[in-house]
Amino acid sequence: MLTKKIEIFLIVVLICFIGIIFHIQLTKLESDIEKLNQKIKSEIQPRIEKSVLEQSEENNLIVLYNRVPKTGSTSFVGIAYDLCKKNHFHVLHVNITANNHILSLNNQLHFVKNVTKWNLMKPALYHGHFAFIDFMKFGFPRPLFINILRKPLDRFISYYYFVRYGDNFRPYLIRRKAGNKMTFDECVQQGLPECDPNAMWLQVPFFCGHSANCWKPGNKWALTEAKKNLVDNYFLVGVTEELEDFINVLELALPRLFQGAADYFIHSNKSHLRQTVQKIMPSEETIKKIKQSAVWQMENEFYDFALDNFHFIKKHTLKNRQQSYMYEKIRPRL
């Protein structure tokens, strides 16, 4: 009888021991689960939140291209229009009355508000022939400005013949100077306004903005302001002569919009869209005369400045495609 009681006692002790062990293991498991939850909150969750945030930011991208006339802008915009459906973004042309490059103050404010708050259109590329607008002046975040520059005399001559002969993009359209066969050389010899070097003053004011001094030909302050805006307020500025590289850099930097743009540019007919039908290169005498003007010298200085800046960005972008970065020695520890 005593032996039976001892057996029952031992069984009870064993059951209690097993229960204690189970409880300890359960407590340890709960502790491990809690630690895992903390790790998820401190490490994994922020990554998820960051990923969601990055996607949200990418889907809110606004790129603004205040395109300078006769710089190859039609070719570039043509690529954007062809890719927008595939890459799920919108392209909008800003058409200003009478092709004016300056917006009134009320229209600047309205435009800035509209671009910033029109969420249905985001992500978006806006493009049009207008001068730089300082969004922050009106209390709104600045979009990503991009642009393309061209050698000033080449651009000037191209435009001179464009208004006479048109281009292969819309050959049926009658241009403003249609029928006028005067060459650029003859125009310079006669000292006519349309080939006056002051009429070349366009790329500087496009980057300078909406201040009065920006539009005074040969104004040194305007040149300084244009350079400052290019560096401080533009995401990327390329050149017509290196349009393929400009597109390559954009695709690497902004794949949300420009994924596949470089390959499309090479293998489509968009790289030579809108060429002036007839263009006669000027004589050395004419070129020398134009280059003596203060306006050409400033426009050319600005072009060279932009070219150096683009080459610097291109070097550190295209040649470092595999470059990455990470954060280290984070304190206090999570």
- Residues with catalytic roles: 127, 129
Q: By three-state DSSP, how is residue 161 classified?
A: helix
In sequence order, what are the residues at sequence separation of 6 or more whose Cβ sits closer than 8 angstroms to the Cβ of residue 226?
203, 204, 205, 206, 207, 208, 214, 302
Its sign, for the CA torsion 31, 36, 37, 38, is: positive
Its sign, for the CA torsion 193, 196, 200, 201, is: negative
Counting DSSP H helices and E strands in the chain, the numbers are: 13, 5
Cis peptide leading into residue 141 (ω within 30°): no
Q: By three-state DSSP, how is residue 104 classified?
A: coil
Beta carbons of 92 and 114 less than 8 angstroms apart: no
212, 204, 201: which is closest to 230 by C-alpha? Answer: 204
Task: For residue 112, give Cα distances in angstroms to 64, 74, 105, 131.
Answer: 11, 24, 11, 13
Residue 283 backbone class (left: φ over 0; alpha: ψ -120 to 50; beta: rest): beta
Question: Hey, what long-range contacts does 94-101 have (CB within 8 A, 24 or more apart)?
Answer: 94/126, 94/127, 94/128, 94/130, 95/128, 96/128, 96/129, 96/130, 99/129, 100/130, 101/129, 101/130, 101/131, 101/205, 101/206
Type of residue at 58:
E
Beta carbons of 140 and 106 less than 8 angstroms apart: no
282, 276, 219: which is closest to 71 by C-alpha? Answer: 276
